[in-house]
A = this chain, B = another copy of it.
Amino acid sequence: MSRADQPPHGDGPATGRRERARLRREEIILIAAGMFAERGYRGTSLADVAARAGISEPGLLHHFGNKAGLLLAVIERRDLDSEAFAMELLGMEPADRLRALPEFARRNRHRTELAKLFTVLVAESLEPDAPGHGHFVARYRAMRAIVADTIRSAQRTGLTRAGLDPEAKAAEIIATLDGLQTQWLLDPEAVDIVAAIEAYARTLERDLTGS
């Protein structure tokens, strides 16, 4: 035991081989995310990803086990990105949260690829046996719960009218933002996503407060 201070599986400060591999993995995930966004999970082959990442196909599989494993890694990574914002949201006062909702979508505008990835993967995950299905189901439920909770809080303080169903309205808000994004991704020239979201923000404010 000359210097076995680090446990075999811990994420200590080792900057050697392990760390280099982790960085490589991260790089591959980013590359795969971009390709999944453009051509879908089914439309992207491991060979495509491997070639773009400058690694062999079995080298890829060494890191992720199989293709579904790569998809899950991509999804997890995407979640990590948006989780930061969710935390931000939950740390705010309900009144401010409502105003921050359009900002959420506005941010995605600068990250087209991420938005496209989400839209494409959700569509490919509609069937219950799809590799990402469970994950997206859970994710949407969580999103609706967060928004619904925000609405309920706002109702308690009287900021939002009591007449509406928080769960239904949450689904509706998320639906509108998703749907606008899809139209914009499909036809960016015809749909001004910023204007559309800002218009919706006004609609929403009037709707929630009761005109």
B-binding residues in A (CB < 8 A): 38-40, 42-43, 116, 119-120, 122-127, 133, 136-137, 140-141, 144, 164-165, 168-169, 171-172, 174-180, 182-183, 185-187, 190-191, 195-196, 199-200, 203, 206-207, 210-211
Contacts and interface: CB of A to CB of B under 8 A. Distances in A.
Contact of A172 (B120, B186, B200, B211): B200
A140 B183 contact: yes
What does DSSP make chain A's interface, helix, strand, loop or mixed?
Answer: helix
A164 B39 CA distance: 37
Contact of A123 (B119, B175, B190): B119
B127 A124 contact: no
Copies in the complex: 2
Which 10 A-B pairs have CB atoms at the shortest separation, nearest pair first? A175-B179, A123-B123, A179-B179, A211-B211, A178-B179, A175-B180, A42-B42, A176-B176, A168-B199, A137-B187
A38 B174 contact: no
A172 B168 contact: no
